[in-house]
Amino acid sequence: ENTFVAGIGFTQPIFMGGKILELYRIASLGEQLASLGYENSKINLLIQVDEAYWRAVSLQAKQKLALEYRALLQTTSENVATLFEQGFATKADVLKVKVKLNEAEMTLTKAENGLKLAKMMLNQICGMPLDTDYELSEVAKSDLSEVSLEDNIGKMTLMRPEAKMLDLKVALAESEVRIARSRFMPNIVASGNYLLSKHAHNIAKMEREEALEKLELQANMMQFKRNEAFKQEILSQNNLENAQENLSHAQLSFEEGIISAADLMEAQTAWVSAKSDNIDAQINTMLSKLYLEQSLGKIKVK
């Protein structure tokens, strides 16, 4: 009576087949995997922002082009109206110019609406109010130098977050194999579980090799596309210079009465088309450079 006995005990794992160490390693790998996934998400977001930005820049350039084209046709319309009053142009000539001018007005309206929507999309991606307005930069002068194919392109793709994530997934599968081995090797039932984990590890390694081959193939494709884009921009620039020269000659010839208003409008249309193609080529060059840097793991975000 009135006698109390207290006791305390503890269990200290001396050796558990490496399970504790592997569980700690799995936790660490999982943390690294989450960090790389976050980094990859930021890179993808950056790509989305750049795509939206260059889309808006393209539409801004085409809006200005539409304004230039309308101004050309307005001048042509005034000149043809004067010639009609003087008896040097027909009513059909006047109507043809008016039709072209109406088409130019519609094109300008579409360009303005497209630019507004493009800015709204860019604002939405950047987390800004949709009605935020601003003046975008002009289309930058591209680096029109051909990209030489990288000899160590396979090693460069290993710097991509996706490649690093594949390595971590293989390491996770390897840790699961070790845990299964240390826990269940002594009994037959659990041996089946170990073999199953081993199979999952092999699958992870094969999936990694296949995915790395695809990343390397993608990088090679992006290099070819980059070179195609810069060649296309050079061609479009040459076409634009020819179209501008042709338009200048056509305007002089029209003023001297050598060609008709229809011939002048044909030169104007060719110039607008060449200018629009050149804008598209410049934007394509910028985007192809962006995609190439992404495929080679050169895009870094803080």
Checking if the pLDDT of 241 tops 90, the result is yes
Averaged over 225-251, what is the pLDDT? 94
Confidence of residue 15 (pLDDT cuts 50, 70, 90): very low
Say whether pLDDT at 13 is over 90: no
pLDDT single digits (tens) 247-259: 999 999 998 889 9
Report whether pLDDT(108) > 60: yes
Comparing 50-64, 131-145, 273-287, the range with the smallest average pLDDT is 131-145
The position carrying tokens 């629009």 is: 276
Q: How far apart, in Å, are the Cα atoms of 80 and each of 42, 85, 97?
A: 57, 9, 8
**pLDDT at position 190 over 80:** no
Give, in order, the Cα–Cα distances in Å from 239 to each of 252, 263, 282.
20, 19, 14
Share of the chain above pLDDT 90, in %: 50
| CA pair distance 119, 112, nearest whole angstrom | 11
CA distance 205 to 174: 10
Task: List all residues 6 or more positions away from 278 whose beta carbon is below 8 Å from its beta carbon.
Answer: 233, 236, 237, 239, 240
Handedness of CA 181, 185, 191, 195 (dihedral sign): positive
The residue among 94 and 154 whose pLDDT is bigger is 94
Predicted confidence (pLDDT) per residue in 291-301, tens digit:
999 888 888 87
Least confident of 52-61, 99-108, 171-180, 271-280: 171-180
